[in-house]
Structure 1
Amino acid sequence: MIATAAPSATASAATALRAGVRVRVRVRSSDATARAVVEAKLISAGLRPAEAPDPFPQDVLVAVGDTVEAAIEAIRPGLPDGREQLLVVADVLSRHGALQALRAGARAMVLSAEATPERLAATIHSAHRGEGRLSHLALARLLDESPASAGPGRRPGTPTLTGRQLEVLRLMADGHGNEAIAATLRCSKHTVKNVIYELMGQLQVRNRAHAVAHAVRTGLI
C-alpha cells in the first residue's frame, strides 16, 4: 500500500480503538520469525494476537509467508469457513498467488515491506467489517503487471493528471471511500466527488475500479 494512505489508516485504527471495537486476531505462519515480526507490529498497534486455536465469529486470521502460496499453505486445512476473515501478508505477491488468495477467501493482501503497524491495524479492522482492501501494487500483480509498471513512469499518451487527482487515485487504489479520502486530504466530500468525476473523464473510464485498473496499467500510480 502507498505512503499517502498512512494518515487515514492511522486515524481509522485509532478511531476503532477509541470506540471500543474488539477484534480478535490470530496469526499463522510456517516461519516463526516472520510470525513474530507481524505479531510485534500488531501489538505495537494495540492489537494483541490470540493464542486460541479455534476461530470465533468475525475473527481475523492473518496468514504470513514469504509468498502468498506459502502463507495459504500455512493455514491449511483450516481455511476460513465464514467464521473469520482472512488477511494475507507476504514478501512477494504474484498474479498466481493473488488469485489463490482470493479463491481461499482473502479479504485483503499486504506486502510485508508495506505492513506498518498502523496499516496492518487499519486493514484488519476493514477485514473485520467484511471489507476488502488491495493496494495498487497488489492490483498491479492481479493485472499481471511487473512491479516497475506500478511506479511513477507513465506510458506515452497517458493523460497528465494534477497532483490532487493523483492523490485521489492512489487513495482509491488503496480501497478508501470518498469520506476517508476527504479526511486524508483535508477537503470536503463534494471536492473529492468533483475530482473523481474529472479524472474519470480524462481517463475515459466507466467507474472507480476501471479508473484504478487503467492507472496501474499505464503507470500513473
Structure 2
Amino acid sequence: MTTQMEREAPPVDDQASRPSRKPVRIAVRAADPITLTGLTCTLMGRPQLQVDSTSQAADVDVLVYAADAVTATTAAGLRRAAGEFGVPIVLVTGEFDSSQLLSVTECQVVAILHRNVATAARLQETILSAADGGAALPSKLLGELLRQVQTLQQDVLTPRGLNSSGLTPREIDVVRLIADGCDTEEIGNRLCYSERTVKNIIYTMTNRLRMRNRPHLVAYAVRSGVI
C-alpha cells in the first residue's frame, strides 16, 4: 500500500560552524523535465554545491533523484542511475510505497526527503551528509527498513546458510585467504579442500554475485564487511 512519508525531519545543522570544504559535485535526475529544471535551479545557487546538468558519472559525488512517488518503475530508474553513477543517491519524493524500501536502498539511496520539507537549505545539508558517508531516513521508514532486513535474513538468507553479504561461512573462509594472497592450492591446503572444491566454491560465488574476477570478489567482501 502506498503511504505518504512522514514529514518530520531533524533540524538543519548550523552551516556557519561547518569548516571550509571543496564543493560537492552533484548531478540531478527527475522523472519529468519540469521537476528536473526546478530542482536544478534550486540547487545551483547553494554554497558548497557544484551542479552541472550534463555531469558525467566520473565527475559526480552525489546524485539527487526526484520522483512524484516511489513505485516499481521509480525503483527501476534508481537501479539504472546507481549503475551509471555508482555514488550515494538522495531521493526526493512525495509518496513512498514501503514495499519498495529495500529495493531503493539497494540502489545506493542513502537519504529520502519528502518534497514538502525539501527546502534548498535542507537539501544542501542532506547532500553534504551523503557525500561524507551519512544517511537520513524518516524514522517510520527506518523502522520499516529494519523490519524488512530482519525478514530477509530469517526467511531467505538463514535457511540457505547465507548472511547479509550473500556469502556462506565456507565462502568467507575462501575469500579471506584470497585476500591474503593465497592461490588455489594454498587455499585447499589450509582448509583441507581439494583444488577442485576450491575452484567450485570460487566459481559459485563469482557466478551468483556476478563478480568479474577474484579481486572483484575480494572488493565485494570488503565492502560487505566480512573481511
Cα distance in 1, alignment partners of residues 44 and 59 from structure 2: 21
How far does the alpha carbon of each residue in 1:164-188 deviate from its partner, in whole angstroms, 9 at most, with x for none? xxxxxxxxxxxxxxxxxxxxxxxxx
Superposition RMSD in Å: 2.8
State yes or no: 1:61 paired with 2:67: no
Cα distance in 1, alignment partners of residues 34 and 8 from structure 2: 25
Residue aligning to 1:37: 38
Aligned residues: 139
**1:68 alignment partner AA:** V
Residue aligning to 2:181: none
Cα distance in 1, alignment partners of residues 84 and 40 from structure 2: 23
Residue aligning to 1:21: 22
Report the CA distance shift for 1:94/1:129 in structure 2 as closer, same or farther (over 3 A): same
List structure 1 segments (4+ residues) > 6 angstroms apart after TM superposition: none
Report the CA distance shift for 1:94/1:82 in structure 2 as closer, same or farther (over 3 A): same
Residue aligning to 1:121: 124
Report the CA distance shift for 1:125/1:82 in structure 2 as closer, same or farther (over 3 A): same
State yes or no: 1:94 paired with 2:120: no
Cα distance in 1, alignment partners of residues 116 and 144 from structure 2: 15
User: In the TM superposition, what is the alpha-carbon distance from 1:93 to its structure 2 partner?
Assistant: 1.5
Residue aligning to 1:136: 139
Which secondary structure state, in structure 1, belongs to the residue aligned with residue 122 of structure 2?
A: helix
Unaligned runs of 5+ in 2: 1-6, 148-227
Cα distance in 2, alignment partners of residues 31 and 63 from structure 1: 11
Tell me the TM-score normalized by structure 1.
0.53
User: In the TM superposition, what is the alpha-carbon distance from 1:89 to its structure 2 partner?
Assistant: 0.9
Q: How does 1:180-195 map to 2 (within 5 A)?
A: none
Report the CA distance shift for 1:71/1:22 in structure 2 as closer, same or farther (over 3 A): farther
Kindly indicate whether the alpha-carbon contact (under 8 Å) linking 1:58 and 1:84 is maintained by their aligned counterparts in 2: yes
Residue aligning to 2:82: 79
How far does the alpha carbon of each residue in 1:1-23 deviate from its partner, in whole angstroms, 9 at most, with x for none? 536x3342xx14x554x603320
Unaligned runs of 5+ in 1: 145-221
**1:50 alignment partner AA:** D
Report the CA distance shift for 1:80/1:24 in structure 2 as closer, same or farther (over 3 A): farther
State yes or no: 1:6 paired with 2:33: no
Cα distance in 2, alignment partners of residues 82 and 36 from structure 1: 20
- Rg bigger for which structure? 2
Overall identity of the aligned pairs, in %: 23
Answer 1 or 2: higher relative contact order, Cα 8 Å, separation at least 6. Answer: 1
Which secondary structure state, in structure 1, belongs to the residue aligned with residue 80 of structure 2?
A: coil
Report the CA distance shift for 1:84/1:95 in structure 2 as closer, same or farther (over 3 A): same
**1:52 alignment partner AA:** T
Which secondary structure state, in structure 2, belongs to the residue aligned with residue 45 of structure 1?
A: coil
Cα distance in 1, alignment partners of residues 37 and 75 from structure 2: 17
User: In the TM superposition, what is the alpha-carbon distance from 1:106 to its structure 2 partner?
Assistant: 0.9
